[in-house]
Amino acid sequence: MNKLILYCMFAFVFFKVEAYQIDLSEYGVNYQLLQVDNKTKTEIQVGDLAHALGLYYSYMPYKYSGHKYKSWQSTLGGDLVYIQDNSSFTQAVTGNNNNISNKSSNVLGYSVYLETGLSMRIKSVKSLQAGLMVGYKYNDINRTIFKCSDCNEESLDAFSHSSYLKPFVAFKISNVIKGKLYFSYYFQSSGFTNGLGLQISF
């Protein structure tokens, strides 16, 4: 699988383009619904799905050649991640008013990712683009109690780093807002098998 990733990256690099280039960038909001793999779900007792919400920034050297627009793009982003905890623990915590209460744990964390790839749109369909990216994601996800500095915490190493393939379709919502619907397929076991997401850029 790693050889496939390298092949895709080199294929993108040597994709021939012509004529003029314009440098563009965009930022936006990302939401992704991730499928937890069966082994991880059983071993650490979490739900089937994870929710990821965050921000991203993309840089796009934009190319025009003949009747086609070709765009190489790279994206850096970060998400907050929530997963239902099916094996939560309870701990007594002290609030701001020194009130003591019992709080249950959740599976929470964050991920950081870097992607690069190619998109293309036909001149006659200016509002629609399709593309393919390869990416690398680092996850730091734990079983913990939200907003508690001294509570117990269990590091869930099953949610680790991974490389993935990301086909997508981008579309224009308005003159300044664009959307991107995508699917992520993970090559290695990272606690997740695949994901479906939506990005809104400005």
Q: Which residue has the tokens 């089937």?
A: 48
Concatenate the DSSP letters of all residues of 117-185 into one string. EEEEEETT-TTEEEEEEEEEEEEEEEEE-TT-SSS--EE-TTS--EEEEEEEEEEESSSS-EEEEEEEE
Predicted pLDDT of residue 124: 66
Top pLDDT among 188 and 27 is at 27
Contact 115, 59 (CB under 8 A): no
Predicted pLDDT of residue 46: 93
Residue 76: partners with Cβ closer than 8 Å, 6 or more residues away: 56, 57, 113, 114
Question: Is the pLDDT confidence value at 145 over 90?
Answer: no
Question: Is the pLDDT confidence value at 18 over 80?
Answer: no
Enter the DSSP assignment of 37.
P
Q: In which band, very low, low, confident or very high, does the pLDDT at 168 lie, cut at 50, 70 and 90?
A: very high
pTM: 0.79
Question: Is the pLDDT confidence value at 54 over 90?
Answer: yes
Question: Is the pLDDT confidence value at 16 over 60?
Answer: no
Q: In which band, very low, low, confident or very high, does the pLDDT at 138 lie, cut at 50, 70 and 90?
A: very high
Q: What is the mean pLDDT of residues 173-202?
A: 90
What does the pLDDT look like over 58-78, one tens digit per residue?
987 755 444 445 678 899 999
Mean pLDDT of the chain: 81
Q: What is the mean pLDDT of residues 180-202?
A: 91
Question: Is the pLDDT confidence value at 22 over 60?
Answer: no
What does the pLDDT look like over 114-125, one tens digit per residue?
999 988 875 667
Q: What is the mean pLDDT of residues 43-48?
A: 92
